[in-house]
A = this chain, B = another copy of it.
Amino acid sequence: MRDYRSESLENYLDDLAAKLPAPGGGSVVALVGALGVGLLSMVSNFTIGKDRYRRSEKEIKKILKRSEDLRERLTELVEEDIRVDGKVSRAYNLSGATDKEKEVRLQAIEKACKEALIAPLKVARYCVEGLELARRLVQIGNVRLVSDVGIAAGLLEAALKGAELNVKINLNTIADRNFVEEKRKNIGSLVRNRLKIKDEILRESEDKIENP
C-alpha cells in the first residue's frame, strides 16, 4: 500500500483534489499541523547558538525537542487518518442482504466510525500543544523570524478548528449516545481557548514586526 508521507507534494495535492476516497480533510489538518510545528522547529533552530539569545538557549532547546516530537506524531497522522478512512469505507461496503448481515454491517460501521475519531482528536491535542510552544517562542525566539511564529499560530489554530469539524461530522454517524457526549466534551475543551491564544501570539508577532 502507498504511504503518502513518501509521496511528492504534487501527488498528494492531486489525489486530494480528485474524486478519490483519500486523502481528505482529516489527513490535511494533520499535515497543516505538522507544517505549523515544523515552522516552530525552524525558528528554534535559527535561535540556538546565537549570542543574542544565549540566555534563553536552554528553554529553546526544550521547545525544539517538543516541536520535533509533535511534528513526528502529526506526520504519522497524515497517513493514519487515510488508513482509518479506508476501514470506514470497507464497513459501509459490507453486504446487508440478510438480517444477520445487516446487524454485522451496522456494528462494523459503528466500530470503524468510533475508531475514526481517534486521529482528529489527537491532531487537536497536538495543535493545542503547538500553540502553547508558539506562545512562548514569540517571546524568546529569534526576532528576525517572528513572522514565522505568527504564521505557525494561524496554521495550528486552523488545523485545530478543522479537527473539531471532523470530529463533529463523524459524531453524527455514531449511535452510542454516551460515547458521543464524551467525545463532544473532549473536543469542546480542546478548542475552547484557541482563538484567544492565537490572537495573543499574532498580536505579539505583529507588534515586533511593526517595531523592529
A68 sits at the interface (CB 8 A): yes
A32 partner residues in chain B, CB cutoff 8 A: 32, 35, 155, 158
Count residues of chain A with CB under 8 A from any CB of chain B: 55
Give A8-26 as 1s and 0s: 1 = Cβ < 8 Å from B's Cβ atoms: 1110110011110000110
A28 partner residues in chain B, CB cutoff 8 A: 35, 38-39, 151, 155
Task: Tell me what chain A mostly uses at the interface: helix, strand, loop, or mixed.
Answer: helix
Tell which of A145, A158, A168, A210 has the most Cβ of chain B within 10 Å: A158
A206 sits at the interface (CB 8 A): yes
How near does chain B come to A76, taking the closest CB pair, in angstroms?
11
Complex Cα distance A158/B165, Å?
16
* CB < 8 Å neighbour of A147 from B34, B67, B155, B169: B169
Complex Cα distance A206/B60, Å?
38
